[in-house]
């Protein structure tokens, strides 16, 4: 572990509170400020490794809620009983093992492609992942549901916000205190999902054209 990480306040807090990474505090702060998780919610966490968001989800939704996480990387056991981590591709939740009949109150995406060091390149790669999350909404998110997705700030951010506002009643960007100050990451938080009228929520969307390609490494 890098020296900076060892002495990082949020990393120390994660270790003290037995969270798997400092990212747990990002979701806690998002929920505290924007109210995305409720008791009894059904939640899908895209890009869930190493499992810290699933730990927070389990706390916030309570024993009557249920959380599912998907990641290309395996997530070690020991998670709370009301959450499940699946190894698979977030483009295909059902193929990863999410029951076909599921629809979710909340869809979370902390996914991020491997960075290149080029701010513009990394921004557009993160944008493609956000577009994937949006494309999953008609199939997996309940009407009125909540979407949270991570983006690296850049020139296309206003367009992404505009597109998201067409599909949700309220959309706001938010940077948690637990994000590194030098990081350009920001979370787009959208409440009140409005399914498209020509694409019933309980039917799988057309696969014509498919979702945008997602860079490897998220």
For residue 208 the two structure tokens come to 């014509």
- 181 annotated active-site: no
Helix (H, G, I), strand (E, B) or coil at 77: coil
Q: How many residues does the chain have?
A: 218
Element (H, E) at 12: helix 9-16
Kindly give, in sequence order, each residue whose CB lies less than 8 Å from that of residue 121, ignoring residues fewer than 6 positions away: none
Q: Quick one: DSSP state of residue 64?
A: T
β-sheet bridge partners, residue 191: 170
Dist. CA 24–CA 177, nearest whole Å = 12
Dist. CA 172–CA 33, nearest whole Å = 11
- Among candidates 108, 15, 13, which has minimal Cα distance to 57? 108
Tell me which of 64, 150, 172, 194 is the catalytic residue.
Answer: 150
In our burial notation (b when 16+ CB lie closer than 10 A, e otherwise), range 17-42 reads: eebbbbbbbbbbbbbeebebbeeebb
The residues that are catalytic are: 150
């Amino acid at each position: 572990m890098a020296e900076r990480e060892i002495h990082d306040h949020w990393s120390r807090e994660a270790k003290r509170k037995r969270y798997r990474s400092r990212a747990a505090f990002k979701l806690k702060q998002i929920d505290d400020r924007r109210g995305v998780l409720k008791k009894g919610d059904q939640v899908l966490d895209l890009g869930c490794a190493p499992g810290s968001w699933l730990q927070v989800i389990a706390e916030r939704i309570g024993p009557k809620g249920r959380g599912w996480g998907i990641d290309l990387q395996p997530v070690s056991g020991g998670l709370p009983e009301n959450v499940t981590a699946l190894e698979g591709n977030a483009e295909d939740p059902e193929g990863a093992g999410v029951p076909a009949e599921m629809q979710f109150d909340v869809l979370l995406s902390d996914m991020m492609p491997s960075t290149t060091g080029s701010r513009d390149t990394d921004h557009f790669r993160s944008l493609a992942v956000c577009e994937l999350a949006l494309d999953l909404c008609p199939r997996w998110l309940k009407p009125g549901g909540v979407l949270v997705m991570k983006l690296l700030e850049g020139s296309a951010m206003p367009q992404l916000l505009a597109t998201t506002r067409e599909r949700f009643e309220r959309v706001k960007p938010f940077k948690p205190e637990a994000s590194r100050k030098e990081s350009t990451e920001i979370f787009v938080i959208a409440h009140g999902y409005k399914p498209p009228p020509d694409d019933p929520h309980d039917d799988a969307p057309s696969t014509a054209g498919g979702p945008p390609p997602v860079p490897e490494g998220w």
